[in-house]
Amino acid sequence: MELVVVEKEHDSLRIEVPRAEETLLVPLVEALQAEEHVVEARYYFGHPFLDRPTLYVKTKGEKPQQLLKRVLKDLADQYGDVLQDFDKKAEKIKA
């Protein structure tokens, strides 16, 4: 997946995610908002032909890029566990 860092400051990060959909950004923003050090986390889609989906994260007490990496890893682990569980159950169903 392509990511473009548009703005990076000591307490905020704005990233364009050109091929992102809400199925990716909603769980990510929800996980970010649940973090203690996150002041603000949101995404913006804008005009479908003129703008790229953008993720914005503002933190307090932790660098936004470190926090984003941790949350992304946690989500990857969580969804990886769901995939493994599905594979185990799907094997039992095979005829």
Using one digit for the tens of pLDDT, what is the confidence trace for 62-87?
999 999 999 999 999 888 888 788 88
- Write out the two tokens for 54: 């953008």
pTM beyond 0.85: the answer is no
Question: Selecting from 3.30.1360.10, 3.30.70.260, 3.40.1080.10, 2.40.110.10, what CATH number does the domain 4-93 have?
Answer: 3.30.1360.10
- Picking from 23, 36, 40, 6, the residue whose alpha carbon sits closest to that of residue 75 is 23
Tokens representing 29?
């923003």
The 10s digit of each residue's pLDDT in 4-56 is: 899 999 999 999 988 777 788 899 999 999 999 999 999 998 888 888 889 99
Domain parsing of the chain, residue ranges: 4-93
